[in-house]
Structure 1
Amino acid sequence: MLIREAVTDDWPRIWPFWHRIVAAAETYTWDPDTDEQAARALWMSPAKRVYVAEDPAGTVAGSAYLTANYGGPAAHVANAGFMVDPARTGRGVGRALAEHVLAEAVRHGYRAMVFNAVVETNPAVRLWTSLGFTVLATVPEAFDHPRHGPVGLHVMHKSLP
């Protein structure tokens, strides 16, 4: 699997699964009705380093971004977002993207990474904990899950080497 920095022309290949994931309202706190223009601004912001994972056929199987979570004296703490095409889950795309983005965060001088709102029912919680993230706190019933009802949002953290 090739993981590379995204280019502008990648957005039309990211948008279909981005839209599907956000519209499902199960793992992201973004508005499920986010239109394509707003979605592009959220994901492909110039303040973010965006990556894509391509399978051997050149299909974009997932995408991630890396950005500072805070500014000023706390700008050394990273934040990231990850999406894997639901048609390609279970093939190691998420783990490969996560490992790549963590390495990139170190390369760019970040000393920690924090996720501000990980839905506690998100299967990716297992991935994050396997990669050394810990749950610092859970905001109870902060997320209205379409199948599970009110569930918590985890704040997760990992120190970087």
Structure 2
Amino acid sequence: MRSKDNMEMRPATRDDASAMLGLLQSVCEEGSALPFIDGIDEHMIDHIWLAARGCVLACGNGEVLGMYRYGPAMPGRGSHIATATFLVGEHARGRGVGRALVEHCMASAKAAGFRAMQFNQVLGSNQPALALYRSLGFAVIGTVPKAFDHIVHGCVDAHIMYREL
């Protein structure tokens, strides 16, 4: 699927692992959105990202701009609620990539039978993500105080956000 800006949304494959790893490592090194410090390697790409229920890349001009993965938030009786992780490369921010990824993910999760989506760690310091999720109908349903050790701001709150699909 291509957008008006010639951005392609497509399922990730094993052939994308190197580009995915580079994006994941870059975002994790920023220390401002994802909790991962160690083990950011091809094993993580294979077993957490590519093994997810859905793993999609946003690509443009021959490069990976962002990616997401989604799957059940919980096993068994909680498996009707999806959770997801989104990454947008620093070079691609402010261009609508995040919105395209979240909208695509919500549609994919709904088509797969999920009834709602829950994000377990949206940082209070990540104002762009909070604004995006709120604009798409997500609400903060809880806050974990000082849950994330931000590289610049120290310990910041993490919000749990939710919306029905």
Could you tell me which residue of structure 2 aligns to residue 18 of structure 1?
A: 24
Provide closer, same or farther for how the CA distance between residues 43 and 94 of structure 1 changes in structure 2, counting only shifts above 3 A. Answer: farther
Q: CA RMSD in A?
A: 1.4
Indicate conservation of the 8 Å contact 2:147/2:157, yes or no. Answer: yes
CA contact (8 A) 1:116 1:156 kept: yes
- Matched with 1:77 is 81
Structure 2 residues not aligned, in runs of 5+: 1-6
Give 1:43 deviation, angstroms.
3.8
Q: Give the % identical residues.
A: 37
The answer on whether the counterparts of 1:23 and 1:33 sit within 8 Å (CA) in structure 2 is no
Tell me if the contact between 2:12 and 2:50 (Cα under 8 Å) persists in the aligned partners: no
Q: Report the AA paired with residue 149 of structure 2.
A: D
Opposite residue 108 of structure 1, the aligned amino acid is A
| CA contact 1:62–1:82 (8 Å) conserved in 2 | yes
Relative to structure 1, the CA distance from residue 47 to residue 97 in structure 2 (aligned partners, 3 Å threshold; closer, same or farther) is closer
Residue 155 of structure 1 corresponds to: 160
User: What is the identity, as a one-letter code, of the residue corresponding to 1:25?
Assistant: G
2:125 pairs, out of 99, 121, 124, with 121
**Partner-residue secondary structure (3-state), 2:39:** coil
CA apart distance, 1:12: 0.9
Q: Deviations over 1:7-37 (max 9, x none)?
A: 111111111121011122211122x233313
CA apart distance, 1:145: 1.1
Q: CA deviation at 1:38?
A: 4.1
State the match for 1:33 in structure 2.
38
Q: Which residue of 1 aligns with 2:90?
A: 86
Structure-2 change in CA distance of 1:33 and 1:73 (3 Å):
closer
User: Which has the higher mean CA deviation after the structures are superposed, 106-115 or 32-41?
Assistant: 32-41
Which is worse superposed, 131-140 or 17-26? 17-26
Q: Which runs of 4+ in 1 moved over 4 A?
A: none
Question: What secondary structure does 2:137 align onto?
Answer: coil
Q: Which amino acid aligns with 1:4?
A: R
CA distance in 1: counterparts of 2:70 and 2:151, whole angstroms: 28
SS in 1 for 2:62: coil
Distance 1:43 1:58, change over 3 A: farther
